[in-house]
Chains A and B, each alone.
Chain A
Amino acid sequence: MSIFLYSLISGILTGGVYALIGIGLTLIFGVMRIINFAHGDLMMLGMYGTYLLSTFLGVDPFVSVLLVFPAMFLFGGLLQKALINRMLTSVAQNQILLTIGLGLILSNTVMLIFTSDYKTVTTSYASSTLKLSENVSVSAPLLVAFSITAAITAGLYWFLQKTDTGQAIRATAQDRDAARLMGINVSRMSILAFGLGSALAGTAGALLMPTTYTFPQIGSVFTLKAFVITVLGGMGSVVGATLGGILIGIAESLSAVYISSGWKDVAVFVLFLLVLLFKPSGLLGKSRT
């Protein structure tokens, strides 16, 4: 029982960080109807940013979020302005090629600079745990990562629901031309959405650094994961991506404990297929006509 509780909790905690990656992807998809295949690579950049800050400047990985978030926001906004905005009216294949190509350039540039060695950050608390009860304890860095994730997600949700700019992002996602007719500068909303999506991906990368390692090609794993999370929750739904992320985290964690860690991807994809079989538009997705 305590093993079950332990793996359930750590699944939820990891899933929360996954959710952050998924939310970024779903936000970009919602506003621009493009799938960002470079999403995992943007997360990888966040990981290397944290690695650099921690190794050379001694910045705590969790504190590094304060720098990684704005830096990735600017980087993502720049990518959107310089490259992706030009492709929005183009055919889908071209958009796919653009983001896949972008991902390849990012991962190979990082490999050129840092080689393909695994990089880790060392912290005093990497393996410290918090006792929840007699037999159940959780990883402290994972708990901190989850708390930061929760705060960011809540902040983002508030921004999208309550502010004029956040509402304009949602309006652009729901009807681009109607948004234009309201005086909304939709290309600026796209820049904002891609910037936010990149910042969320990079932040997730930073938050994972205390408990995992990174290498230049790690992005492709996470692009796929983000895609599964997004489709599972319903394309374009922020709440859906949160739910999807946590479900994937739980599925990975439970299957690793009860089957074997080599099977955790199988569990994720079986869950994915089951959801698609019974609700093709995703858990909270609306079917589009």
Chain B
Amino acid sequence: MLRIDKLNFSYGDMKVLWDVDLEVHPGEIVTVVGANGAGKSTTLKNISRLVKPDSGGITFEGVNLNRLQPHEVVGLGIVQVPEGRRIFPEMTVTENLRMGSYLKATRKFRESNFEWVFHLFPRLKEREKQLGGTMSGGEQQMLAIARGLMANPKLLLLDEPSLGLSPLFVKNIFQILTDINKEGVTILLVEQNVYQSLRISNRAYVMETGRVVLSGSGEELLNDEHVKKAFLGM
């Protein structure tokens, strides 16, 4: 479904990604784990075309993304829930969600998508009229995910959805991600919460200093000595 081939990227003179190869198949939950600065978020930004790679190709369902603008990538069905939530602070919950289904192709599903996300996140329904910027971190994360779902994603990219949330919320978010996946949305997840994310993943990649150093099924990596030592403190 998504295929990244020898992706290289630098911020100015600083090289951040080295020959990253990554694949996501339809229906999967794939996680990229790694420490801060390993290049996880940068990989997602490259997929969404917010930044442009030095070399290497990204294709989605056979379409080369290299010449596309960010909004055209969304049109293909790749929707990113960015790090730090990035909801529109001076818009209401409803308006934020409407922006999720801004594209004409998804606008006609707006009503049914509203029902879907309010079913997944009943809390958002209670806060319909509230301004995004005045909500708690956990609620904002729900809103950010719900806003992403409003776009009818085929592939949902999530950048650190558990960052800064209370343990209870974290558990809740991971449960919802598995639910969304069961409804047919393929998920590419970037996480520092290694244990939780590997548990729900079909496959995972480990990134260190801009390179993919390890890959395998979620279970394999959970039992991997290197992963245990580096990320799980065991």
Task: Please report A residues at the B interface, Cβ cutoff 8 Å.
Answer: 164, 167-168, 170-171, 174-175, 177-186, 286
Is there an interface contact between B70 and A181, defined as CB atoms closer than 8 Å?
yes
Select from chain A the residue with minimum beta-carbon distance to B107: A164
Residue B98, interface by CB 8 Å: yes
Residue B127, interface by CB 8 Å: no
Is there an interface contact between B91 and A164, defined as CB atoms closer than 8 Å?
no
Q: In the complex, what residues of A have CB within 8 A of residue B88's CB?
A: 170-171, 174-175, 178
Q: In the complex, what residues of B have CB within 8 A of residue A175's CB?
A: 86-89
Is there an interface contact between A182 and B102, defined as CB atoms closer than 8 Å?
yes
Residues 24-63 of chain B: 1 if any A CB is under 8 Å from the residue's CB, otherwise 0? 0000000000000000000000001010000000000000
Is there an interface contact between A171 and B50, defined as CB atoms closer than 8 Å?
no
Residue B74, interface by CB 8 Å: yes
Majority DSSP secondary structure for residues of A touching B: helix
Q: In the complex, what residues of A have CB within 8 A of residue B151's CB?
A: 182-183
Q: In the complex, what residues of B have CB within 8 A of residue A170's CB?
A: 88, 90-91
Asked whether A177 and B69 contact (CB < 8 A) given A167-B95, A170-B91, the answer is no
Is there an interface contact between A174 and B89, defined as CB atoms closer than 8 Å?
yes
Residue B120, interface by CB 8 Å: no
A-B contact pairs, 15 of them (CB 8 A): A167-B91, A167-B99, A168-B102, A170-B88, A175-B87, A177-B50, A178-B82, A178-B86, A181-B48, A182-B99, A182-B100, A183-B75, A183-B102, A184-B102, A185-B71
Q: How far is the CB of B138 from chain A (nearest CB, A)?
A: 18
Is there an interface contact between A183 and B98, defined as CB atoms closer than 8 Å?
no
Is there an interface contact between A171 and B82, defined as CB atoms closer than 8 Å?
no
A168 to B74, CA, bound (A): 15
Size category of the binding interface on chain B = 20 to 34
Is there an interface contact between B71 and A171, defined as CB atoms closer than 8 Å?
no
| Total A-B contacts with CB atoms under 8 angstroms apart | 64
Select from chain B the residue with minimum beta-carbon distance to A164: B102
8 other contacts beyond A171-B99, A174-B91, A178-B86, with CB at 8 A cut-off? A164-B107, A167-B91, A175-B89, A177-B50, A180-B48, A180-B50, A180-B70, A183-B103
- Chain A CB within 10 Å, residue with most, of B98, B99, B151: B99
Residue B147, interface by CB 8 Å: yes
Is there an interface contact between A180 and B86, defined as CB atoms closer than 8 Å?
no
Select from chain B the residue with minimum beta-carbon distance to A187: B69
Q: In the complex, what residues of B have CB within 8 A of residue A180's CB?
A: 48, 50, 70-71
A175 to B87, CA, bound (A): 8
Asked whether A183 and B71 contact (CB < 8 A) given A167-B98, A167-B99, A177-B50, the answer is yes
The 5 closest A-B pairs by CB, nearest first: A183-B74, A180-B70, A178-B86, A183-B103, A174-B88
Is there an interface contact between B71 and A184, defined as CB atoms closer than 8 Å?
yes
Asked whether A164 and B98 contact (CB < 8 A) given A170-B91, A177-B50, A183-B75, the answer is yes
Residues 91-108 of chain B: 1 if any A CB is under 8 Å from the residue's CB, otherwise 0? 100010011101100110
A128 to B106, CA, bound (A): 55
Q: How far is the CB of A62 from chain B (nearest CB, A)?
A: 35
Q: In the complex, what residues of A have CB within 8 A of residue B75's CB?
A: 183
A175 to B71, CA, bound (A): 14
| Residue in A184, A185, A186, A286 whose CB lies within 8 Å of B99 | A184
Is there an interface contact between A177 and B99, defined as CB atoms closer than 8 Å?
no
